[in-house]
Amino acid sequence: MTGRQKVGRNAGYALLAVVLWFLLYLFAWRGMRFFLIPSESMEPTLLKSDYIITLNYGHPPQDPERFDVIVFKDVEDPTAYAVKRVIGLPGEEIAIHDGAVFIDGEYLSEPYVPERPVYTYEPQVVPEDEYFVLGDNRNRSSDSSLWRRSVPREDIIGRAVLIYNPVQRMGRIR
């Protein structure tokens, strides 16, 4: 074996080590997971049958932020998962009326919502360590407004970051 072949083989091993380290980082450290979108509740952001990738909130864990799209244990069926957008943070007062969401009395601009909500949600404070979530398809979503409760922090699996299938919709989730 020539010196050039040894260098090439060593470079191949180094590349393999880097790829394996990156995959270990994504799966173990960042908690990368894969999910199938089961309903139309997040349209137009996510379509039924989209496949997405989630990442957990890191080490040390960070808290979800407003507008994050998250996957969590379904409030109605703890053996299933749900996908919604974080709207209300712990300690905030949420109200929905006149086709709009209000946080602590202030209007929340949501350009990603295709239809304004046709329902009302009386003002309610989000409990500590919980998050108020809504589907982007407000009038066709089973979410915090319907459940009359928020999602506990410990039930959140991760933040949806990428659509990977179908290929024509592949890209970052905004």
Q: What are phi and psi of 57, to 5 degrees?
A: -90, 20
What is the spatial distance between Cα 4 and Cα 8, in angstroms, rounded to a whole number?
A: 6
41 is catalytic: yes
What dihedral angle (degrees, nearest 10) is formed by the CA atoms of 71, 73, 77, 82? -10
Give 134's strand partners: 85
49 is catalytic: no
Alpha carbon separation from 128 to 61, 150, 153, 156 (Å, rounded)? 16, 10, 9, 14
What is the spatial distance between Cα 56 and Cα 161, in angstroms, rounded to a whole number?
A: 10
Cα angle 37, 39, 45; round to 5: 65
- The one-letter amino acid code at 154 reads E
Active-site residue (options: 39, 48, 73, 84): 84
Active-site residue (options: 6, 39, 41, 141): 41
The residues annotated as belonging to the active site are 41, 84
